Amino acid sequence: MSTLTVTPIQEQLARDFVAKTPDPRFTAASRETKAKAREVPAELTALLRSVLEAVARGDGVTLQTLPSELSTTAAAELLGVSRPTLMRMIRGGEIAAHKVGSHHRLNLVDVQDFRRAQLARRRAAFEELRQLDDELGLE
């Protein structure tokens, strides 16, 4: 994990950039090489804009790189479950894994997909509870 400390100047520059750039698309050019400006792809501008907006608000930003293949310990940590629980999930076929020697490994994409699906199930269950609460008139 990489932790960067945002300086007040960087925070102000981010605030100015976000305020002056309402269009989420923008271009980038390298000052060192005096390269021709190139439009940043939409998928990247969304990522960069969310980082800039967080910095502009004074929020902390943490960047973390993850390998494409995770150990069961790393995957369990990402999912917020214990390693034994993850192993039960693997044995039960709830999440895909493969063996490397005697160890299980999980693809990062599979773990992220499972996490998104898990979050969607939780949100749906919460919404169902809210509707039930509204129907029963409980407060």
Walking along the chain (139 residues) 10 residues at a time, the average pLDDT comes out as 72 85 70 69 81 87 85 95 97 96 96 94 94 82
In the prediction, which pLDDT does 10 show? 84
13: which 2 tokens?
């520059």
In the prediction, which pLDDT does 135 show? 87
CA distance linking residue 57 with residue 12, whole number of Å: 9
CA distance linking residue 139 with residue 137, whole number of Å: 7
In the prediction, which pLDDT does 107 show? 96
CB atoms inside a 10 Å sphere around CB 88: 12
44: which 2 tokens?
């990247």
Q: What phi and psi, each to the nearest 5 degrees, are found at residue 27? A: -110, 160
In the prediction, which pLDDT does 50 show? 86
2-3 and 62-63: which strand pairing?
Answer: antiparallel
Chain centroid offset of residue 48 CA: 13
CA distance linking residue 107 with residue 89, whole number of Å: 15
In the prediction, which pLDDT does 77 show? 94
71: which 2 tokens?
């150990």
Domains contained in the chain, CATH given: 2-63 (no CATH), 69-136 (1.10.1660)
In the prediction, which pLDDT does 58 show? 86
